[in-house]
C-alpha cells in the first residue's frame, strides 16, 4: 500500500510493468486454444476409429452386399449383413416424426412470434422447453405403454412393437426444437418489416406468410434439418417401442429397427469382440455419421440459397 503515495499516472505505469500480467496475456490464448482443440481432436479420434473398424468390416463383407442386400441376420448360422432394413427403419421413423414436428412446431412458432402477447410468450416458451428436457427413455416407454395402446383402438392390426408410435412420439419430442429455433428466426426479423407490410394494408397473416417467413426461411429450414438430425440419431424411443425386427418393409404398423437401435442391441451383449457382427456396428455407425453429415451440408446449402439478408 506504499503505492498510495504515487500519482495515478505512476500507478498505471507501475501496473503496466508487472511481469505476471504480461505472462497471463500469453498464457490465456494458449489455454483457450487447447480447450477448442480438444473437441477437434475428439472428432478426429471418433472418425478415425469409425473408419478403421469399418474397414475391418468390409474386408469380411463385400461393400456392395452391405448396401444393396435387404437381408439382415447377423446372428444366424449363415449371417448376412444388409443395412437396407436399418436405413429404411431410420428414414421411415424420422419421416413420421417430421410429419408431426414440422406442422405443429412451425405453427406454434408463428403463434408465439407473431400473435401471442408478451405474457403468453413468456409463459409458453419455457413450458415447451421443458418438453425438450424430458429424458428420451421416458418418451420411449410413453410411446410403448401409452401411445401404442391408444393407436390400437384406431388401427386394430397394429403390432405391440411398431414404428408408427415411436415416430409420433419422436415428433412430439422435437416439436420444441423446431418451434423454438423457428420462433427465434422469426422474431429476429426487424419490426420495421412488419410495419412496412401492415402500412400497405396487409393483414397479420399476410405479413407472416409473405414477409416474415420468407425473411426467416434460412433459420426455419435450419431448425427442420436439426430436427431431422435429432430424429435420425434418436435411440431410446425406437429401441423400446419399435422393437428389433430386421424386416425390410414399408408397413408402418410393423416393427422396424433403426440404425441406432441395432447398435444398442449389439453393444448390449450379443456381439463378441472381433466377430463380424462386432465390426458391423462400426459400419452402421459410420453410415449414421454420414447421414447426419449430409443433412448438415444440405442445411447449409439451403439456408445460403434462400437467405434473405436484412
Q: Which residues bind other proteins (CB under 8 A)?
A: 117, 190, 192-193, 195-203, 206, 210-211, 214-215, 308-310
CA dihedral 147, 152, 155, 158 (to 10 degrees): 90
CA dist 146 and 138 (Å) reads: 11
Given CA atoms 88, 92, 98, 99 in this order, what sign does their dihedral have?
A: positive
User: Looking at beta carbons only, is 129 or 308 nearer to other proteins?
Assistant: 308
CB of 309 to other proteins, least distance (A): 6
User: Looking at beta carbons only, is 16 or 309 nearer to other proteins?
Assistant: 309
CB of 204 to other proteins, least distance (A): 10
User: Looking at beta carbons only, is 198 or 302 nearer to other proteins?
Assistant: 198
CA dist 258 and 167 (Å) reads: 11
Helix 213-233, helix 276-305: angle, nearest 10 = 180
CA distances from 239 to 136, 173, 234, 248, 260 (A): 11, 15, 9, 17, 8
CA dist 221 and 299 (Å) reads: 7
CA dist 252 and 158 (Å) reads: 9
* Cβ atoms within 10 Å, residue 87: 18
User: Looking at beta carbons only, is 92 or 217 nearer to other proteins?
Assistant: 217
CB of 110 to other proteins, least distance (A): 17
CB of 139 to other proteins, least distance (A): 38
User: Looking at beta carbons only, is 163 or 211 nearer to other proteins?
Assistant: 211
User: Looking at beta carbons only, is 145 or 203 nearer to other proteins?
Assistant: 203
CB of 262 to other proteins, least distance (A): 45
CB of 300 to other proteins, least distance (A): 19
Which of 51, 87, 54, 50 is closest to 68 using CA atoms?
87
Give φ, ψ of 275 to 5 degrees: -80, 165
Amino acid at each position: 500500500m506504499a503505492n498510495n503515495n504515487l500519482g495515478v499516472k505512476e500507478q498505471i505505469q507501475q501496473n503496466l510493468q508487472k511481469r505476471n500480467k504480461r505472462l497471463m496475456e500469453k498464457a490465456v490464448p494458449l489455454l483457450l486454444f487447447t480447450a477448442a482443440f480438444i473437441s477437434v481432436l475428439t472428432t478426429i479420434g471418433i472418425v478415425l476409429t469409425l473408419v478403421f473398424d469399418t474397414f475391418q468390416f468390409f474386408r469380411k463383407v463385400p461393400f456392395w452386399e452391405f448396401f444393396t442386400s435387404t437381408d439382415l441376420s447377423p446372428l444366424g448360422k449363415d449371417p448376412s449383413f444388409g443395412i437396407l432394413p436399418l436405413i429404411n427403419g431410420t428414414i421411415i421413423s424420422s419421416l413420421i416424426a417430421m410429419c408431426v414436428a414440422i406442422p405443429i412446431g412451425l405453427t406454434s412458432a408463428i403463434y408465439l412470434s407473431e400473435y401471442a402477447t408478451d405474457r403468453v410468450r413468456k409463459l409458453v416458451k419455457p413450458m415447451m422447453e421443458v418438453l425438450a428436457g424430458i429424458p428420451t427413455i421416458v418418451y420411449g416407454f410413453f410411446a410403448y405403454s401409452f401411445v401404442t395402446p391408444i393407436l390400437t383402438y384406431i388401427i386394430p392390426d397394429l403390432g405391440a412393437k411398431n414404428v408408427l408410435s415411436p415416430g409420433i412420439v419422436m415428433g412430439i419430442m422435437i416439436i420444441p426444437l423446431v418451434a423454438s429455433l423457428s420462433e427465434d428466426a422469426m422474431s429476429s426479423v426487424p419490426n420495421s418489416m412488419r410495419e412496412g407490410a401492415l402500412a400497405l394494408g396487409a393483414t397479420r397473416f399476410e405479413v407472416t406468410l409473405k414477409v416474415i417467413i420468407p425473411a426467416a426461411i434460412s433459420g426455419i429450414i435450419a431448425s427442420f434439418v436439426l430436427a431431422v438430425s435429432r430424429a435420425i440419431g434418436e435411440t431410446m424411443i425406437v429401441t423400446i417401442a419399435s422393437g428389433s425386427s430386421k424386416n425390410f418393409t414399408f408397413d408402418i404398423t410393423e416393427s422396424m429397427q433403426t440404425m441406432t437401435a441395432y447398435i444398442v442391441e449389439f453393444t448390449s451383449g450379443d456381439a463378441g469382440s472381433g466377430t463380424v457382427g462386432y465390426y458391423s456396428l462400426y459400419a452402421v455407425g459410420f453410415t449414421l455419421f454420414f447421414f447426419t453429415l449430409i443433412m448438415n451440408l444440405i442445411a447449409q446449402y439451403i439456408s445460403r440459397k434462400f437467405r434473405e439478408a436484412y
